[in-house]
Structure 1
Amino acid sequence: MLWINAYLTTDLLLLIRFFLLYAYRWRPMCVLHFFHIIICYCEAIFDNYLNLLQSYILLALNICRYLQIAHNHNVYSSNRHTIIIVHFLIYFLPLFSHIIAIKFGWTILQNPPGDACDLLPISFAMKIIFLLLSYFILVMLTLVFLSLSLNYVRNTDGIRTQQIVDARQKCHCQLVIQSSVFYSLWIILWSPYILVFPFYYKNNTIG
């Protein structure tokens, strides 16, 4: 439940971000140019950042599920320090990568008057690199761990007691099915946004 709660938290943060920015743009207010630029960068970064977090969280969820199935122990209690470090890396690295991309000019801020701010890669090569690091590699790794989990559940070699086989398959199959359904929903509903993000400028007038 740890990773699922983290995933749901990112969904909540996406909703909060939307309503805050909607209120900021819908209600006219005088803001210093410096603060306007900060708000614009936050708007451009955090939408994609939170969606990236969801990709990494789902990968971490499926890795933990595989370890739980293959080694038959509670990963979260036996590897507490590792889980904390992974949490820190998942939350920090995507944000750090955005800052580095801005610092070295690999992305450019789109800030048209009255429209949503956006952060876009400057070249086609950067778009491909972004897709590799934020989508394709993560999806492939997740599918690999889902396949490993399914293969382990199906493999009953060395187990002689049918009751143990049935109990293990029942428990582990539920975990694999839950992960597969959850990830399938993400692939269908949310992942298209990450795919089109480098090639699509929002250009939405709010208010």
Structure 2
Amino acid sequence: MTLLATPRRDRVVALLSSTAGITSIGAVVDGPSRRTFAALLDRASVVSSDEVGLEAIGPDGEPIALSPPALASLLDELTRRSPGCLDRFLLTDARGGMLGLDGRELRAGGRVFDLAAPLEWRAFVFQEALGQQAIAVYQGTWVRQGTSEVVLVCLLPAITPALDGMDGALGPLDRGALRDLRLMQGTPEDPPPAEQRVAVDRLLMVPIRSALDKAPRPAAQASRARA
């Protein structure tokens, strides 16, 4: 299960994932509720406000919306039954392979990355032509650990929240939001090799990057980051 929120933390969605797909359950959070459920919101990764998944539309086309207390109670029960579920998701990629994150390891493209061991990763964007008159812009997350290397890709959101001016609008609760907004940024690069790519749901890119960001880095990469 993965928790997502808008940059303003006024909407939160729980993504319940399995190899069969994703079901989302949402709640609208007002000012008083944000204070009451601060701990819950702090666990949520921030994504762009225009993401369709934040509408929490069910398979029948109807919204699945709960009140903040009801959503909090549901999450409490789920974590009681399955400790650690908030740091875990499990899906099947477009090639039928496992795509999963369980807090300790990332599985993608038939490879397993140990999040407790040093690894390298970076965020970037690239574009490719679609036919003769259209261009698609993608975001990518390159990951390498030892001999294992993969690039997670998805379409770039139509609107990516800008960092300029956000610092003053974010209170102590939203330090995590500022971190996630930074994780959304990427530098332009050439398209990665097709054989390295693994398509992921766009809503999961920030949670994946957040997990990678917490993993230790090789000494050489850590030194470059401090330079």
> Which bin holds the TM-score, normalised by the shorter protein?
under 0.3
Normalized per residue, the structure richer in helix is 1
Normalized per residue, the structure richer in strand is 2
TM-score (norm 2): 0.24
TM-score (norm 1): 0.26
